[in-house]
Structure 1
Amino acid sequence: MNAEGLVEVVLPGKVEPEGLELRYGAVPTAGPGQVVVRMEATGVSFAEQQMRRGKYYDQPPFPFVPGYDLVGTVTGTGAGVDPALTGTRVAAMVKTGGWASHVLVDAADTVPVPEGIGPAEAETVVVNGVTAWQMLHTKARVRAGGTVLVHGANGGVGTVLVQLARAAGIKVIGTASPRHHDALRAQGVTPVDYRAGNVAARVRELAPGGVDAVFDHVGGPGLVDSWRLLAPGGTLVSYGSAATRDVEGSKQLPVLKILARVLLWNALPNGRHAYFYNIWAGARAKDRFRARLAADLTQVFAALRRGDISARVAARIPLDRAPEALRLAESGTVAGKVVLIP
């Protein structure tokens, strides 16, 4: 690693993980309203897996630096920013640009990381934690005693979602491969093997009257089963299209199909609700979006400190070994989040 300067991982085009490139340069200087954050942890999420295939629906043109979120220490401030922020550990959600040793961030987009939470641990609950918190408490609003189905219960978002639900007194059915079932049972989750086929039939056996919410990152044809598994008054929250990860073609089409289904289902007079969740919804109303993001991430950090949720770090891998980290994240063999460190 270049200890004195900037190191960035560049996604040059549609490449295999080994096609990622390292770029070196000078550490950036903060402009008005900005801070320079020295990265201490940045995550490998499903977004980057989609981006390297050119499949993330609103990714920038190649080449660019991926990296959806990060945690680090402020090393410089621009005009209009309190200099006392220097030396503070913060978290930020940037969508792209996080896979770098130093990142320029608008100061208003940073959220302080509480004392006692390490950078890798905090990183696991930035985008994943806010996503899980908002889907459970803002969209689905399931009450204690209810039952939910979490697809990919061992994944980055799934692990946080499961824990938040259990902390709220909600029963959880979680799909995962058998290797993760014991860990899920230890958390009070009823596991279902998604590889065994006919997941819907198994869920109906466990919840004959339907579930109060389904959290579905898979999309594709299985989204219809998720809708049909809802109890009266239940809520489907779709937040991805993993089923189309390796499908060639338009990156917008899978999302458009989900949106069309959501519109259709919400028009039906059956009391059920469907959402396509996007963490950036409302971002155009910048001040309100920032305030909501900061408030929700603060709640997630508080839950982490209380022990309601735990940080699931699948692996810590140096930034200059990003191809290895991306391969591991795509393997489907780990629970929690793969984290890149300096």
Structure 2
Amino acid sequence: MSEAFGFREFGGPQVQMFFDRPDPVPGPAEVLVRVTVASVNPLDFKLRAGAMPQFYGDRPFPHVLGAEAAGVVLAVGAEVEGLDVGDAVFGCSLAGAGTYARTTVLDAANTARKPDGLRDDWAATIPVAVTSALNAVDQLDLPVGATVLVNGVGGGVGLVTAQVARDRGLHVIGTGGAAKRALAEAVGVTFVDYTDGDVADQVRGLAPDGVDGVVDLVGGASLRAVAPLSREAGKVVSVTDPTVSELGGEMVRRRVDRSDLERAAALMVQGRLDPQVGKTYPLSQAADALALVEHGHALGKVVIDMTGTA
């Protein structure tokens, strides 16, 4: 049996709970891992709220929270290639097994060996947050010297998106609250504080002719305010809001395969990308970790260290 944190039914934080479960048995294309670090994402509370019940397939409640982790392989499925028992790895749990747990199963196709020199807490941020940023910037496909607006730059995905864009020679304007300014400016963002007045007007003051593309991490009214700033409607990519299509933009085309994981890890090892890990919590404080992200107060990435104690 191993300890896990999850929820007994779909709903708000009140449905969250700790429980013990047997170590999952890896399927033919899965690996069983001892989790060292799990990363916390907005996806986690959205799944808990029931946004995508199909994510959990026919798994019975309680469900385990979390979708990305770093750890050590304990067992491999019969069809797994390129991963062995004892390997330090990072990857996704896309079949609903969850990662806020001492042990879990990861999808082998979406799991990679962790290179020497890469910290576990950094590696754990790659499968969901970092690949989202890579996919979004890839999709915009802007030329060197172009200007991209990152709407919601202060969170974990936003800060990585800004760094990926800067690494490709783009000028980055980012929106966020005042508390996010220092982190954003530290990675080279021209920051726009949404509490200082109309965001669109502020961006036009920096880019009178508009921007070359927009990566949206907020959605809703905020997306609708900034989407017209793109000189080309098709150069608006949202990570969060499928109604972006009504504005001529697209949802990010997600690809979480081993090659993308390895590409992101290489950027970190080369010193070109810092996931900006902020708060680290032990598993016993998983509820606090998720609440920080759910309330929008996180500065950078929030992770759960399974080796830590309160």
The TM-score with structure 1 as length reference comes to: 0.81
Question: Does the alignment pair 1:304 with 2:268?
Answer: yes
Aligned to 1:275: 250
Aligned to 1:217: 217
Aligned to 2:193: 193
Question: Does the alignment pair 1:334 with 2:298?
Answer: yes
Contact 2:158 2:217 in 1 (8 A): no
Matched residues in 1 for 2:83 and 2:198: separation?
56
Q: Which runs of 5+ in 2 are unaligned?
A: none
| Matched position secondary structure for 1:211 | coil
Contact 2:153 2:162 in 1 (8 A): yes
Q: For each residue in 1:182-229, what CA deviation from the matched residue of structure 2 results, as whole angstroms up to 9, or x when unmatched?
A: 332232211011233310111111111111111112222333332210
Matched residues in 1 for 2:149 and 2:82: separation?
46
Aligned positions of 1:170-181 closer than 5 A: 170-181=170-181
Deviation at 1:234, TM superposition (A): 6.1
Aligned to 1:246: none
Matched residues in 1 for 2:221 and 2:127: separation?
30
Deviation at 1:180, TM superposition (A): 2.2
Aligned positions of 1:150-299 closer than 5 A: 150-232=150-232, 235-241=235-241, 255=242, 257-259=243-245, 261-262=246-247, 265=248, 274-279=249-254, 293-299=257-263
Aligned to 1:248: none
CA RMSD of aligned residues (A): 2.3
**Paired amino acid for 1:46:** P
Deviation at 1:124, TM superposition (A): 1.9
Aligned to 2:9: 13
**Paired amino acid for 2:118:** I
| Greater alpha carbon shift after TM alignment, 228-237 vs 117-126 | 228-237
Deviation at 1:300, TM superposition (A): 0.9
| Matched position secondary structure for 1:173 | strand
Change (3 A) 1:24 1:214: same
Deviation at 1:43, TM superposition (A): 1.3
Aligned to 1:73: 72
| Matched position secondary structure for 2:263 | helix
Aligned to 2:125: 124
Change (3 A) 1:161 1:110: same
Number of equivalenced pairs: 301
Q: Which runs of 5+ in 1 are unaligned?
A: 242-254, 266-273, 280-288
Q: For each residue in 1:107-154, what CA deviation from the matched residue of structure 2 results, as whole angstroms up to 9, or x when unmatched?
A: 3332111111111111122211111111102x1001111101001111
Matched residues in 1 for 2:28 and 2:55: separation?
26
Contact 2:70 2:120 in 1 (8 A): yes
Matched residues in 2 for 1:193 and 1:49: separation?
26
| Matched position secondary structure for 2:202 | helix
**Paired amino acid for 1:340:** I
Change (3 A) 1:208 1:234: farther
Aligned positions of 1:35-114 closer than 5 A: 35-56=31-52, 59-60=55-56, 63-81=62-80, 85-95=84-94, 96=96, 97-114=98-115
Matched residues in 1 for 2:234 and 2:83: separation?
47
Aligned to 2:145: 145
| Matched position secondary structure for 1:157 | helix
Matched residues in 2 for 1:339 and 1:44: separation?
6
Contact 2:38 2:305 in 1 (8 A): yes
Contact 1:226 1:236 in 2 (8 A): no
| Matched position secondary structure for 1:7 | strand
| Matched position secondary structure for 2:158 | helix
Aligned to 2:136: 135
Change (3 A) 1:340 1:33: same
| Matched position secondary structure for 1:307 | coil
Deviation at 1:10, TM superposition (A): 2.1
The TM-score with structure 2 as length reference comes to: 0.88
Deviation at 1:81, TM superposition (A): 4.1
| Greater alpha carbon shift after TM alignment, 87-96 vs 23-32 | 23-32
**Paired amino acid for 1:7:** E
